[in-house]
Amino acid sequence: MEIIKRPRRLRTNKTIRNMIKETTIDINDLIYPLFVVPGENIKKEIDSLPGVYHYSIDLLVEEVKDVKKLGIPAVLIFGIPSHKDELGSEAYDDNGIVQKAVKAIKSEVSDMVVITDVCMCEYTSHGHCGIIKDDYVDNDETLEYIAKIALSHVKAGADIVAPSDMMDGRIGAIRKLLDKEGFVNIPIMAYSAKYASSFYGPFREAAQSAPQFGDRKSYQMDSSNSNEALREISLDIDEGADIIMVKPALSYLDIVRRAKDNFNIPLAAYNVSGEYSMVKAASKMGWVDEKSIVLEMMTSIKRAGADMIITYFAKDVARWLTIQ
């Protein structure tokens, strides 16, 4: 007699389901992005990212204390400068917005891992992630600036630098300069497979970093490509990346999985602004249940192979995991 195979046996109650659970989310996997602006006493909600704020440094420090209380180990800092120019000079100014913010956080909150986004698009008048020559982002000249920005963040106290510009050779350029200046123990989290994505829309409003002409397709990756992501990741590892990243997350879980299977190195996935805002909008309309949908998304990012998740939902997830 043919015996019916019954996988449902292991789903009969919650305790058994928990016993066979393959993927869990841990608060230690979460990284919370924060936006810092010039001024004082500012906490202003970002229209395109409900529940996410622009903070002046004084209130940013208070926010980081809250983030720490929730048990989240790391924040990722983005700065909006007081002025922009062709060379994005505030990005590498030792008294720039990010440098001051990092100093303030490091002096007032202990044990918080401060990661800084290393890029130029928030700081350049043209909104591109590098130096423009004849309407083209000049790769090799940009490298010097990117390395200088990373160094100034580290001098301010950053624990990890995360270059998101997608220039060729940037990881090597940063590693070389950091080592030369004695910062041999500062890890680099490389935005290795960063796609030219429409999912960054709400972020560009938040960071005032939309390109003023053209788009980012000559440096960020084409969403059609998967093998190319593996080539990008392997170059970054060769140049000294300590952590690699796939960005965005949800439409690129196949890339996360291939990265996990092919490289034996910590892997982060960036659950980006558009992915956040779509959930916020749909849950506001009552069309989806925010908590269960977000936990399902986080689980799927981890199941695909990510070790860490950068997400605007980090505080909510931390709360939900704690009271579950």
C-beta of 8 vs 246, nearer to ligand PBG: 246
Does 52 engage in binding with ligand PBG (CB under 6 A)?
no
Does 129 engage in binding with ligand PBG (CB under 6 A)?
yes
Say if residue 278 is exposed, middle or buried (CB neighbours under 10 Å; 0-12, 13-18, 19+).
Answer: middle
Mask: binding to ligand PBG, 211-240, rule CB under 6 A, as x and -? -----x------------------------
Does 309 engage in binding with ligand PBG (CB under 6 A)?
no
The one catalytic residue among 247, 260, 280, 302: 247
| Residue among 117, 159, 232, 236 that touches ligand PBG (CB under 6 A) | 117
Residue type, 116: T
280 has catalytic annotation: no
133 has catalytic annotation: no
Decide: helix, strand or coil at residue 32: strand
Q: By rule CB under 6 A, what count of residues binds ligand PBG? A: 12
Helix crossing, 97-108 with 57-69: angle to 10°? Answer: 50
Residue 87 near residue 135 (C-beta atoms within 8 A): no
| Residue among 52, 75, 102, 121 that touches ligand PBG (CB under 6 A) | 121
Q: What is the dihedral of CA 307, 312, 316, 318, to 10 degrees?
A: 30
CA distances from 165 to 92, 129, 143, 280, 292 (A): 14, 5, 10, 27, 33
Mask: binding to ligand PBG, 142-181, rule CB under 6 A, as x and -? ----------------------x-----------------
The one catalytic residue among 84, 100, 103, 194: 194
Residues marked active site are found at: 194, 247
